[in-house]
Structure 1
């Protein structure tokens, strides 16, 4: 029995089980369900793919729109750059034209020099202004590193002083020491040295001008130009047959238009005052030293064309002028018979002539007793 049972069990293990009808139906139902699920998944995947494709198309469209917008922006930036370049080119052309105009004007001004001051004046300055508008310009300092222009000015001063040096110029040998002699109108002094014909005075002797009486800084070396403390000479301009009429004590008391210094000193001379044209100019000009005196002694007048005549001059020494700024200065002579109301607008002119010759009045007017100039020290 037991053996029979074992054989049956072995036979059953070797023979595959047959599904029952219920199992077949259940399996078919499950298979159908699985098939349907798979088909649904496939459809869902297709929809997802289609939806994803649509999203991609929208993204591509969006990306394409971005690329198009970027192109427009690049074109606008390029146009802006071209406009900027055009504006810069126009500005450059305008600046170039202005530069050429400035150069042309400078060439016209400095090609043949500018017109020198031809106003008919009682006084002149040495050295001569070297720029327009009676401007005396130089750069102070030592040569060759800083000093510019001033060596030419110093050469003029050297030549000028040479004419007054008794050790060099023989003309100074034939003159007379006239110190203390008053030859102003109404003085009555010095008659022995003059001969009058009722209209003009003829001087038979020439008076000596002592160079040693001026400041040593204004008689040798570089005349203070390297240090920025220049000397300027104000010389009588050889106005023929002019005699000064001095102020009286009554004039000093009553004429309030006279400079305070003149009214205080009351000198027996043709008084000279140099001052700034404004308060600022006075401050920038600083103190001035006048030597040998602040004016011209009367014994140097009148000028009659004497071959050995030594025109008097005053050495101005600017002791502490400001630098890098233009300083307007006017020097004026004071005497009772000087036309103080005359200005540079008058039509009187002078022939500078050179040498020791007299001044010829071409305009028929009176000489101007003032001399304006500008000083610029760099």
Structure 2
């Protein structure tokens, strides 16, 4: 009995030219015009739906955010509730990992860089709109919706006319606390129960302030000293302007327009020709120090030739 089924073999091979356009079947790249139209409509609808889905998710997500404050604050966020310290002037960008302030005081072209860096930093502060800024005191802080103004005439000899001390061996370094939304310092308001590790000079300063000006103790205190005994021996003196800390009336930070973090100018009179390691710390009950992670402190080096 013969097999009535026809054997089905492989489709005939097409040349590349026929693959691009087959006049017999009216196919382009193996598909007819209606087939291309259907697949195009499918992908348009598919990706439009996909885009609408993600747009909807983003819309829902943005509904959970507030315009002027972060969603996660303090310990809930990555920044945490322990502010760090920053310093200016910073070394050139070519030495981005360096924290060394080095110059030859006898050469104008060397200390000019550091003066210009501080000027740029100060000018950036001055360029911030002052509409919401007001003069603050320890008795009268900022009103609602306002922020305290930085007094740029309170930095003593750390000024442009004095080349911020870089014309000699007494360079000035400006310190500022990193901004953390809603963080408010728990200050040391009296000379009792101060940390054992707090420098003696700062303890004496706090004792003096609490005795003479008890209404001006709302301060995040600041201390700077050499990291090692040899470093301290090569620091002749340290002066702080306008005071040995950041006034508490600048806190908390609420992302109000015009806000500027408070500054402390620290002037170091140092021995020339020696590398000096310096560590500055901010002091409050809710500031914890960790040298390895630079929490509540900052490290830099000074070398004046």
TM-score (normalizing by structure 2)? 0.62
1:371 and 2:298 equivalent?
A: yes
* SS of equivalent residue, structure 1 residue 149: helix
CA drift at 1:284: 0.9
* SS of equivalent residue, structure 2 residue 136: coil
1:328 and 2:277 equivalent?
A: yes
Q: Distance in 2 between matches of 1:371 and 1:312?
A: 16
CA drift at 1:337: 0.6
> Within 5 Å, which residues of 2 pair with 1:1-378?
122-130=84-92, 131=95, 132-141=97-106, 146-165=107-126, 169=127, 171-181=129-139, 193=143, 204-249=145-190, 252-253=192-193, 255-266=195-206, 267-318=217-268, 320-340=269-289, 342-344=290-292, 346=293, 368-378=295-305
Does structure 1 conserve the Cα–Cα contact (< 8 Å) formed by 2:281 and 2:298? yes
* 1:107 alignment counterpart: none
Q: Distance in 2 between matches of 1:328 and 1:212?
A: 29
Q: 1:158 to 1:172 in 2, by over 3 A?
A: same
CA drift at 1:269: 0.5
Does structure 2 conserve the Cα–Cα contact (< 8 Å) formed by 1:126 and 1:234? yes
CA drift at 1:160: 1.7
* SS of equivalent residue, structure 1 residue 222: helix
* SS of equivalent residue, structure 1 residue 213: coil
Bigger helix share: 1
Q: Distance in 1 between matches of 2:116 and 2:83?
A: 24
* SS of equivalent residue, structure 1 residue 274: strand
Q: 1:278 to 1:315 in 2, by over 3 A?
A: same
List gaps (5 residues or longer) in structure 2: 1-81, 207-216
Does structure 2 conserve the Cα–Cα contact (< 8 Å) formed by 1:138 and 1:148? no
Q: 1:242 to 1:220 in 2, by over 3 A?
A: farther
Q: Distance in 1 between matches of 2:162 and 2:241?
A: 17
Does structure 1 conserve the Cα–Cα contact (< 8 Å) formed by 2:218 and 2:249? no
Q: How many residues align?
A: 211
Does structure 1 conserve the Cα–Cα contact (< 8 Å) formed by 2:276 and 2:301? yes
Does structure 1 conserve the Cα–Cα contact (< 8 Å) formed by 2:128 and 2:258? no
* SS of equivalent residue, structure 2 residue 135: coil
Question: Is the radius of gyration larger for structure 1 or structure 2?
Answer: 1
Does structure 2 conserve the Cα–Cα contact (< 8 Å) formed by 1:122 and 1:239? no
Q: Distance in 2 between matches of 1:217 and 1:257?
A: 28
